[in-house]
Amino acid sequence: MSLDFTLSRRQHELREAIHSLGVSVVRPQSLAWDRAHRIPDDFLRNLVMIASSMGGGFAMTPGADPPAANATGAKKPSAANVTTAVAAEQMAWADGALLLSLPGPGLGGPPIRATGTPEQKARFFGMFADMSTELKWGAYALTEPGAGSDVAGIRTSCRKDGNHWVLNGRKCYITNGARASWNVVFATIDPSLGRAGHRAFVVEKGTPGFEVGKLEDKMGLRASETAELVLEDCRVPDENLVGGEDSYQSKEGFMTAMKTFDNTRPLVAAMAIGIGRAAYEYARDFVKDNYVLSRPVPRYAALAERLARISRDLEAARMLTWRAAWLADNEIANAKEASMAKAIAGKSAIRACIEAVEICGAEGSIAREHQLLEKWFRDIKVYDIFEGTGQIQRIVIAKRLMTNLRTF
Sign of the dihedral through C-alpha 212, 119, 82, 385? positive
Distance CA 8, CA 277 (A): 22
Set 89, 144, 337, 387: catalytic member? 387
Q: Report d(CA 4, CA 283) in Å as an integer.
A: 31
Integer angstrom CA distances of residue 92 from 30, 57, 87, 408:
11, 15, 9, 33
Measured at the alpha carbon of residue 248, what is the angle toward residues 385 and 164, in degrees to the nearest 5?
95
- Is 387 labeled as catalytic in the residue annotation? yes
CA gap 297, 64 in Å, rounded: 52
Measure the CA–CA gap between 87 and 99, rounded to whole angstroms.
10
* CA distances from residue 337 to 332, 342, 369 in whole angstroms, order as listed: 11, 9, 38
How many degrees, rounded to 5, is the angle at CA 145 between CA 159 and CA 267? Answer: 95
Ramachandran category for residue 194: left, alpha or beta (phi over 0 → left; psi -120 to 50 → alpha): left
Give the strand pairing for 138-141 and 182-188.
parallel
> 247 with 102: CB under 8 angstroms?
no
Q: How far is CA 237 from CA 159, 167, 203, 223, 301, in A?
A: 12, 11, 9, 33, 65
Could you list the active site residues?
387
